[in-house]
Amino acid sequence: MAENETLVGIIMGSQSDWGTMKEAAKILDELGISNEAKIISAHRTPQRLHDYVDAADAKGMKIIIAGAGAAAHLAGVTAALTTLPVLGVPMESPALKGMDSLLSTVQMPGGIPVATLAIGKAGAKNAGLFATAIIALSDKDVSERLIAWRKKQAAAIPLDPVD
């Protein structure tokens, strides 16, 4: 792998999605996985999406995490343009609390897969962890870091509830 290679691309439909999508970036940073975040909309900036996916394929990116809300077609259109794994994060949209985002992200036609995570911040965090798990399949150091992260998470959870 080249020194400055970006393994995970995080794309989102709007600046308004960043408060959620930064959870993916945070976990990837914590686990030492190179990543970048860009605002790219399937509807408002379609050419930017095409250009980004073409460049991602060409420069050796491994995974794209796509977060969008409402008529959330970003992950699906991204998946249509590449065979890289695409992880979809539905935003918790104000109008329908993310059900619109969830259904429009998850319900892909057979032949073009998107792995859809939970609505909102939990989904973004888990997308970062899922991307790490994919990379860990072929990188022992990453695998060890992920195992250590899980152990630390478990150790931080108290056994006894407090009032």
Query: What SS3 state is found at 79?
Result: helix
Of the residues 25, 70, 86, 114, which one makes contact with ligand RP5 according to CB under 6 A: 70
Q: How many CB atoms lie within 10 A of CB 84?
A: 15
CA distance 72 to 103: 8
Of the residues 56, 91, 102, 114, which one makes contact with ligand RP5 according to CB under 6 A: 91
**Amino acid in position 129:** L
- The window from 8-16, 27-35, 110-118, 131-139 that contacts ligand RP5 (CB under 6 A) reads 8-16
Size of the site for ligand RP5 (CB under 6 A): 9
- The window from 53-61, 65-73, 136-144, 153-161 that contacts ligand RP5 (CB under 6 A) reads 65-73
Least separation in angstroms between CB 88 and ligand RP5: 11
Q: Does 69 bind ligand RP5 (CB under 6 A)?
A: yes
Q: How many CB atoms lie within 10 A of CB 26?
A: 14
Least separation in angstroms between CB 113 and ligand RP5: 20
Strand partners, 153: none
Q: 60 or 94: whose CB is closer to ligand RP5? A: 94
Q: 36 or 100: whose CB is closer to ligand RP5? A: 100
Q: What binding mask, one character per residue, do residues 11-50 give for ligand RP5 by CB under 6 A, x or -?
A: --xx-xx-----------------------x---------
Q: 125, 28 in Cβ contact below 8 A?
A: no
Q: 87, 63 in Cβ contact below 8 A?
A: yes
Strands (E), the chain: 8-12, 35-39, 63-68, 86-90, 115-116
